[in-house]
């Protein structure tokens, strides 16, 4: 409940709608409560007495009440829908902003599937919950108690039946709700597992087919789906009791009511129209309590989703933003006894790394798979913070920089090239919106992507979501061009030329070497050919730096580097 109160702040711009929606619903309910009285008048004064003028007047009055009720209902639903959609829009924006503010450690822990579920399914459920709450939270209780009060104005003995059944129904409804809350939370958790499995299978469908794992993945998905089905059945069995129990109790009440009133009608102390009116009021109570029961089930789901969404807002980023900047210096990067341990990993990914890189130098980073190459370069733009030691940029601890300043200094091309829906130009403008046409063309040329751009119809050529209309090598070249456009002081190429042929890779390295702003370059690569001409090469093995120096030195002094070099060149020779 506390989590939902926190989220209701996004309804503050819809205060008028939140007041008008339930008020118009109560107006509709008020006219609905007069309908049984009009029907009683129609029967007693019109049908029984055979007065056609009374029948016509009562019929017209019923039409007027119906039209007024319809108008009030449509107006209420307009305001409730406006408030609910506006609430969901603002919440989704705030949630998206919060997710973007999280660091890599928090994103890794939360998981992509969980973030997508909260942004879509959970927020949609909250929207539906707010919409139905505004429409029914006053209307249903108002009709229930209004019908009971109207019954008291007609006959006290009959009204006592109303009072007893309302108390009994409230116990049943709220009792079942209390049992159902935990089960609904469990359903949402199982649903998230199914969504994550679906996303992973769709994203990795090529790998699944390549290894003929369709059957195994289908079985695993079926297991997740079965767990969701069992959770849904368990929650559904409890909520399914709501309707039959309420119907049984109401029908027993109706039978009791008719029995009491039949005696009074035969005695002449009550009219037939009055009995019908009481029966209608009891029917109204039944309908509204069913609506209230369904609303409570929906609100259970809404509260479960609000807890999940609110938990994202509760996440405190492990990295704090600094507020400093530093002038350029000859020593651009320095690692001072740096170690890195990912949360809950149990062991260090990097251990006691120390080295320095001067302005304009090209540094190669090489090592086997899982040796920590990407982890090392991710410490420079502060995607992660070192757990021990210090990383310095221009003599200043990276933790003292503002995120904006450090990311302006460091341009990084990730292992996986990512393009966004739009055009080649719009993708490159992520790096610099102030760039002129010549800047675009120069960056594209340096990235060896001229041919790619020409094939796609120029710089304004279309890019499909995820860059699906480009090959892996084309996406890598455009990603490199985008980073070069920002002219970073430190350029990191994290295995970003793995899909390029050797000639294109060679031309790319030559172009980067001849850049007029002379950036400090770090090249992470599996290929010794890509880094053998670097000013210095750092060799990693299982998170430890086992060598640093030039190519010729490392061939003599570093066994790990020598093995990598010889294995690659012997394969090429073969």
CATH number, residue 251: 1.20.1560.10
Written as six digits, the tokens of 553 are: 């030195």
Residues 278 and 406 in one domain: no
Q: Is residue 478 a part of any domain in this protein? A: no
Examine the fold and report which residue of 280, 313, 346 is the final residue of a domain before the chain moves on: 313
- Residue for token pair 């090209």: 362
pTM of the predicted protein model: 0.74
Question: Could you tell me if 147 and 200 lie in one domain?
Answer: yes
Residue 80 belongs to some domain of the structure: yes
Measured between alpha carbons, how far is 447 from 504 in angstroms, rounded to an integer? 9
Residue 41, phi then psi, degrees to nearest 5: -65, -40
Stretch (H or E) spanning 110:
helix 104-110
Note whether residue 461 is domain-resident: no
For residue 98, tell me if it sits in a domain: yes
HSE-CB of 2 using CA atoms within 13 angstroms: 2
72 within 8 A of 28, measured Cβ to Cβ? yes
* SS3 of residue 338 by DSSP: strand
| Alpha-carbon gap, residue 367 to 542, rounded angstroms | 8
Distance CA 455, CA 523 (A): 28
Same domain for 291 and 364?
no
Sort strands 331-340 and 388-393 into parallel, antiparallel or unpaired: antiparallel
In a domain, 318, yes or no: no
Distance CA(550)–CA(552), nearest Å, equals: 6
* CATH number, residue 378: 3.40.50.300
Q: Please, are residues 38 and 122 in contact by the beta-carbon 8 Å criterion?
A: no
Please report how the helices 139-154 and 272-313 are oriented relative to each other, as an axis angle in degrees rounded to 10. Answer: 160
Number of domains in the chain: 2
Q: CA nearest 430: which of 452, 446, 407, 453? A: 407
User: What is the CB-side half-sphere exposure of residue 270 using CA atoms within 13 A?
Assistant: 24
Instruction: Say whether both 98 and 144 belong to one domain.
Output: yes
- Taking the C-alpha atoms of residue 463 and residue 425, their distance in angstroms, rounded to an integer, is 9
Which of 313, 347, 372 is at the close of a domain?
313
* Domain containing residue 125: 2-313
Query: Are residues 280 and 342 both part of a single domain?
Result: no
Give the tokens for residue 396.
Answer: 């200043």
Report d(CA 77, CA 134) in Å as an integer: 9
- In tens digits, what is the pLDDT along the chain, a chain of 574 residues? 556 777 888 888 899 999 999 999 989 888 888 888 888 888 888 887 778 888 888 889 989 988 998 999 999 999 999 999 999 999 999 999 998 888 888 888 887 777 888 888 889 999 999 999 998 888 888 888 888 888 888 878 777 887 888 788 778 877 777 777 677 777 777 877 887 888 788 878 888 888 888 888 898 888 888 988 888 888 778 777 777 887 788 788 888 878 887 888 777 777 888 888 888 887 888 788 778 777 877 887 788 788 888 888 888 888 888 888 877 778 899 999 999 998 877 788 999 999 999 999 999 999 888 889 999 999 999 999 999 999 999 989 999 998 888 988 999 998 888 899 999 999 999 988 888 889 999 999 999 999 999 998 899 999 998 888 898 889 999 999 999 999 999 999 998 887 788 888 889 989 998 898 899 999 998 888 888 889 999 999 999 999 999 999 999 999 999 998 888 876 444 4
* Residues 135 and 280 both lie in one domain: yes
Cβ(246)–Cβ(172) below 8 Å = yes
Of the residues 313, 347, 373, the one at which a domain ends: 313
**pLDDT computed for residue 424 by the predictor:** 93
- Claim to verify: residue 263 and residue 179 sit in the same structural domain: yes
Residues 305, 339 within the same domain: no
**Residue 443 resides in a domain:** no
Q: How far apart are CA 516 and CA 441, in angstroms?
A: 15
Let me know whether 298 and 389 are in one domain: no
Q: How many CA atoms lie within 13 A of 100 on its CB side?
A: 6
Kindly give the residue spans of alpha helices, DSSP state H, lying in 338-397.
Answer: 373-378
Q: Are residues 366 and 309 in the same domain?
A: no
User: Are 369 and 305 in the same domain?
Assistant: no
Residue 395 located in a structural domain: yes
Do the Cβ atoms of 419 and 463 come closer than 8 Å?
yes
pLDDT number for residue 1: 55
- Considering the domain boundaries, does residue 292 fall inside one? yes
516 three-state secondary structure: coil
pLDDT at res. 574: 42
pLDDT of residue 3: 62
17/75 same-domain check: yes
Cβ pair 475, 463 in contact under 8 A:
no
177: phi then psi, degrees, rounded to nearest 5: -60, -45
């Amino acid at each position: 409940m506390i989590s939902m109160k926190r989220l209701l702040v996004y309804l503050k711009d819809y205060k008028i709608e939140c007041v008008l929606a339930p008020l118009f619903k109560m107006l509709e309910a008020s006219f609905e409560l007069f309908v049984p009285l009009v029907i009683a008048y129609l029967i007693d004064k019109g049908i029984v007495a055979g007065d056609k003028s009374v029948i016509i007047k009562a019929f017209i009055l019923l039409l007027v009440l119906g039209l007024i009720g319809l108008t009030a209902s449509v107006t209420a639903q307009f305001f409730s829908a406006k408030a609910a959609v506006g609430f969901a829009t603002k919440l989704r924006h705030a949630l998206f902003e919060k997710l973007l503010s999280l660091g890599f450690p928090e994103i890794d822990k939360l998981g992509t599937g969980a973030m997508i579920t909260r942004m879509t399914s959970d927020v949609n459920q909250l929207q539906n919950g707010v919409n139905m709450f505004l429409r029914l939270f006053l209307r249903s209780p108002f009709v229930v108690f209004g019908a009971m009060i109207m019954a008291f104005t007609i006959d006290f003995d009959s009204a006592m039946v109303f009072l007893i059944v309302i108390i009994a129904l409230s116990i049943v409804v709220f009792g079942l709700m209390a049992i159902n809350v935990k089960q609904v939370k469990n359903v949402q958790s199982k649903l998230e597992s199914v969504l994550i499995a679906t996303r992973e299978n769709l994203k990795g469908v090529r790998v699944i087919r390549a290894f003929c794992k369709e059957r195994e993945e289908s079985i695993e998905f079926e297991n997740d789906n079965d767990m969701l089905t069992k959770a849904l059945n368990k929650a559904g069995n409890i909520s399914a009791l709501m309707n039959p129990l309420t119907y049984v109790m109401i029908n027993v009440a109706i039978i009791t009511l008719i029995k009491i009133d039949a005696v009074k009608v035969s005695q002449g102390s009550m009219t037939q129209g009055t009995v019908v009116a009481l029966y209608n009021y009891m029917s109204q109570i039944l309908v509204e309590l069913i609506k209230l029961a369904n609303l409570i089930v929906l609100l259970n789901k809404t509260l479960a989703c609000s807890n999940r969404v609110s938990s994202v807002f509760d996440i405190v980023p492990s990295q704090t933003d600094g507020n400093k900047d530093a002038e350029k210096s000859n020593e651009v990067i320095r690692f001072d006894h740096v170690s890195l341990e990912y949360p809950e990993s149990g062991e260090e990914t990097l251990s006691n790394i120390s080295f320095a890189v001067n302005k304009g130098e090209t540094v190669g980073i090489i090592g086997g798979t899982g040796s920590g190459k990407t982890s090392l370069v991710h410490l420079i733009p502060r995607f992660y913070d070192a757990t021990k030691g210090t990383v310095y940029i221009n003599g200043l601890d990276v933790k003292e920089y503002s995120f904006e300043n450090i990311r302006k200094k460091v341009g990084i091309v990730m292992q996986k090239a990512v393009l966004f829906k739009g055009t080649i130009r719009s993708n490159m403008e992520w790096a610099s919106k102030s760039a002129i046409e010549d800047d675009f063309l120069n960056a594209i040329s340096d990235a060896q992507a001229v041919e790619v751009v020409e094939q796609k119809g120029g710089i304004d050529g279309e890019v499909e979501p995820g860059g699906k209309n480009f090959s892996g090598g084309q996406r890598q070249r455009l990603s490199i061009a985008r980073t070069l456009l920002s002219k970073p002081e430190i350029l990191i190429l994290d295995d970003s030329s793995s899909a390029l042929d050797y000639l294109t890779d060679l031309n790319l390295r030559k172009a980067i070497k001849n850049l007029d702003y002379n950036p400090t370059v770090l090249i992470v690569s599996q290929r010794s050919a890509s880094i053998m001409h670097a000013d210095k090469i750092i060799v990693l093995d299982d998170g430890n730096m086992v060598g640093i120096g030039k190519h010729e030195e490392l061939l003599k002094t570093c066994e790990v580097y020598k093995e990598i070099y010889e294995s690659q060149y012997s394969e090429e020779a073969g």
